[in-house]
Copies of this chain bind each other. A is one copy, B any other.
């Protein structure tokens, strides 16, 4: 693995989840691995969890960290080939990526979708620009179309709560050096697959699809009963959802669920638009039933989900945020190991 751009860069999800959980148990056990190595975090957008957890992960591995808010501390970047740069952009991605590569060993980047121009967003010009021209590894800290550090943290959280990765803890693995197996068909005994629901939720602003996309990609590699529910018009990119069933009746989708992941996103077909607020899609204790509740945060209380859910023992949102550290740490560890 040269870069961590998407969930597709994970060779074995159960192995990575298992390794992350080992790091969680002993966060500084690999403190020597990153000594003398530098991580550079470049933010083109705001960040709380990603900013702090990725720094923390790097420090746990002994790395040095440089943080830069590219937008207001650096120069406006140009991405076009052959552009006559006589307008607002001061520096081309070709130079920026090569230059930054010389000051660090890994560069991690956050650059959200603009939600104005689908083709432009899907070109992922910031992340792909860095990947094309950087000479060091690139980590995606949320791009236009994916948030694979979040989805990996979500996989860790699911595994901890006996979701689809629970097999990594199973007895048979304890006699096995490798902390995971193939990603399919690892159900122990007659235990049924967990039912996991990704539910669209209302939100006053147009939000990107990145979190939902990466969660779907991650879930498609899990042995679970996975359902997406949203109002008509909010279908995600069908190339990402593939054959995942879509249930337009939220209540029905949530029936007998083990985990419900709520998240708002704007329309994909009517790109970047908020079609309606649909406040009746807010996640409630009633709809949730006995399921565990998940969200990537930040979450708007009583819009996306009611207080009663977040304040109950069924909410996993704080643990998901905690697992961001170990998701980042396993990614950085893999990249550092590749450098040896």
Contacts and interface: CB of A to CB of B under 8 A. Distances in A.
Interface of A: 28, 36, 38, 40, 43, 46-49, 51-53, 55-56, 59, 64, 66, 68-70, 72-75, 78, 82-87, 89-92, 94-96, 98-100, 102-104, 204, 297-303, 307, 310-311, 317-318, 321-322, 325
B301 A85 contact: yes
Given A51-B68, A82-B307, A301-B85, A318 B104 contact: no
A317 B95 contact: yes
A52 B90 contact: no
Contacts of A301: 78, 83-85, 92, 94
A102 B318 contact: yes
B66 A73 contact: no
Given A48-B96, A52-B68, A92-B301, 16 more contacts: A46-B74, A47-B74, A48-B73, A51-B68, A51-B74, A52-B100, A72-B72, A83-B301, A86-B303, A87-B204, A89-B300, A91-B298, A95-B318, A98-B318, A99-B321, A99-B322
Contacts of A51: 66, 68, 73-74
Which one of A43, A90, A301 has the highest number of Cβ atoms from chain B below 10 Å of its Cβ?
Answer: A301
A165 to B, nearest CB: 21
Contacts of A297: 91, 95, 99
B49 A73 contact: no
Is chain A's binding surface mostly helix, strand, loop or mixed?
mixed
A184 B266 CA distance: 65
A307 B322 CA distance: 46
Contacts of A95: 297-299, 310, 317-318, 321
6 contacts: A43-B73, A47-B74, A48-B70, A95-B297, A95-B299, A99-B318
B38 A59 contact: yes
Contacts of A307: 82
A338 to B, nearest CB: 21
A200 to B, nearest CB: 16
B318 A82 contact: no
A311 B49 CA distance: 38
A178 to B, nearest CB: 29
Contact of A40 (B36, B52, B91): B52
Nearest to A74: B48
A47 B301 CA distance: 31
Nearest to A323: B102
Nearest to A66: B55
A90 B310 contact: no
Nearest to A317: B95
Contacts of A36: 28
A52 B73 contact: no
